[in-house]
Structure 1
Amino acid sequence: MPDSDGGRPPAEQRSACLVVMKGDNVGHKYDLDRELIAGRESATSIHLDDGLVSRSHAKFTPDTVGVRLFDLCSTNGTFVNDKQINSTYLDDGDQIRIGKTILKFIYRNNVEAAFHEHIYSLTRFDGLTGIHNRQTFDNTIANAIAKVANNGAPLALMLFDIDHFKRCNDTHGHRAGDHVLKEVSGTVRDNTREGDFVARYGGEEFAVIIHGLAPPGPARYADHIRALIEAKRIEFEGQAIAVTISAGVATWSSHMRAPAHLIELADQRLYRAKQAGRNQIIAL
């Protein structure tokens, strides 16, 4: 139960988060287990690509009392429940407006927090494989490229297909096909590095966002994943199913103007890998 200090529960029960209610990336959740800064600068914890938002706009600071929100001398102000603030402690259910974005503050030990976590999961993860979905990929690749524009770190994309997946469905049935999708996605997820990102791009196609490897590193990394899939023993109802993948790998460069250019290049190379006989990587 909340104590007498507004909507703040006892300190030992506090675990708070912010949920995006309006703006880009609705449903995204930010855990407030550390200080977070919201702003237009791509390196901020809560990146808001909005001309109404200052580069470093507001700060959320957890302490022994609760979570305190500070406006960082922003141009257009920070609002809590439609009232402009300089600094204030947040209460359960408060709505924070920064530019066009509305964030809801929630103490995570209540039922509403559990509901938002469920909705958040549905909006971000693929229901069959449990890895990130296409919408989350689109948001993540855009944010990753925005950061690369500032820090110059290498960024690459691997797109891959499961070879002859239709034949697998026709031969073994759709339940077996679903099992293959789960096994392949799980293998890739469990063998990527911390910080890299795996998503189901659509159907039997998957994407891996690779950080911090300059060529030929991404190609070697992708071929390692290919070899793991080829070597994996996948069985369904007593039947062994041989699975391989084909992949295209592309590295972001300054002459590209949008995420679509990186995706298109990786997709073209994926097509070439399939045309060349499958079970291979093309990165040039």
Structure 2
Amino acid sequence: MANFDQETVITEIGKRPMPAAPGNDSLVVIYAKEESLRGKRYKLEKSPLTIGRVPDNDVVLDDDAVSRRHAQVERRGEEWFIVDVGSRNGTLHNEGELAREAALTHGDRIKVGSTIFKYLTGADAESAYFEEVFKLTITDGLTQVNNRRHLDEALEREFLRARRHSRPLSLLVLDIDFFKRINDQYGHLAGDHVLRELASLVQGRVRRDETVARYGGEEFVVLLPETAVDGAVSLAENLRARIEAHSFVFQGVTIPVTVSIGCAEVSAGDGTGPDLFRRADEKLYQAKQGGRNRVCH
């Protein structure tokens, strides 16, 4: 079997790229570790569109998890297909590993290394693109929960409201225990999978008026308006237990995951939203120092 990390993949030597039918079909980068790539649009104007680590690809990703020639997007009749061309780490299609190839439909997500693309097609592809770019300003592309910028704005807004109306407001700071060990032992793609699945678990346990955000790295924040500390601690314990009991499975391997959580409620000594965050973060530190996999408040 050819090693695509060492050899150049050649498909039908001498064949010219096939022009695609008119349209707005494109791949949009909705997550990339390299910030300058986020929101970048690759119009599907030729077939195949190649994706890989070396400069002769149409889409170049400087990522050790990406093979020299990793995948390509091909037009067949009226459809576009994502095709893995023998990459070392595989290609994900809508969170599932791509066996070889799959036809693309509007909204499909493709993950190559640490980069996530979204496929846009149809008459509304142009407006969908601008919607995706806007979402990038408030959403973490990897986990699809809110990003730090959105959290900062929500925290300031809810802090002022709680103070003005003398209402309770609590905040959880959640951190994955030994996350570096997960990356080192199972690989960064497995680490990304854990982050996405954990974010989904947390998002599924909060109300619509509550905010879940990825604060950075393996740290998440849950902002809880109209919730006193007892209710916040109860939710935190529920989340901690659910995450510990959940089976995080990546490529057939189960990865044990636990979290530590710090919790705080607005107090008279808090002058700003960041003061509340700082106190919850201090409680997180206590949970880590106390042995991890626990809640401190």
Aligned Cα RMSD in Å?
1.6
Match of 1:176 in 2: 190
SS of the residue aligned with 2:224? strand
2:199 corresponds to 1:204:
no
Match of 1:260 among 236, 249, 274: 274
2:230 corresponds to 1:216:
yes
Q: How far apart are residue 254 of structure 1 and its match?
A: 2.8
Match of 1:269 among 283, 291, 295: 283
Q: How far apart are residue 120 of structure 1 and its match?
A: 1.4
Match of 2:173 in 1: 159
Match of 2:263 in 1: 249
2:208 corresponds to 1:194:
yes
Q: 1:258 to 1:178 in 2, by over 3 A?
A: same
Residues 58-69 of structure 1 correspond to what in structure 2 (within 5 A)?
A: none
SS of the residue aligned with 1:216? helix
Q: How far apart are residue 124 of structure 1 and its match?
A: 0.5
Q: How far apart are residue 152 of structure 1 and its match?
A: 1.6
SS of the residue aligned with 1:180? helix
Q: 1:111 to 1:172 in 2, by over 3 A?
A: closer
Q: How far apart are residue 162 of structure 1 and its match?
A: 0.4
Q: 1:112 to 1:146 in 2, by over 3 A?
A: farther
Aligned partners of 2:264 and 2:276 also within 8 Å:
yes
TM-score by length of 2: 0.57
SS of the residue aligned with 1:184? helix
Q: Deviations over 1:237-280 (max 9, x none)?
A: 11111100001001012321011111110111101100100000
Q: Give 2:172's aligned amino acid.
A: M
Match of 1:126 in 2: 140
Q: Give 2:287's aligned amino acid.
A: A
Q: 1:112 to 1:236 in 2, by over 3 A?
A: closer
Q: Give 1:264's aligned amino acid.
A: R
Match of 1:20 in 2: none
Aligned partners of 2:229 and 2:264 also within 8 Å:
no
Q: Give 2:220's aligned amino acid.
A: F
The separation in 1 between residues aligned to 2:252 and 2:126, in whole angstroms, is 44
Q: Deviations over 1:152-196 (max 9, x none)?
A: 221000001000100000100000000000010000001112211
Q: 1:140 to 1:170 in 2, by over 3 A?
A: same
Residue segments in structure 2 that go unaligned for 5+ positions in a row: 1-122
Q: How far apart are residue 113 of structure 1 and its match?
A: 5.1
Match of 1:145 in 2: 159
SS of the residue aligned with 1:200? strand
Instruction: Calculate percent identity across the aligned residue pairs.
Output: 41
Q: Give 2:165's aligned amino acid.
A: N
Match of 2:246 among 211, 229, 232: 232
SS of the residue aligned with 2:222? strand
Residue segments in structure 1 that go unaligned for 5+ positions in a row: 1-108
Aligned length: 175
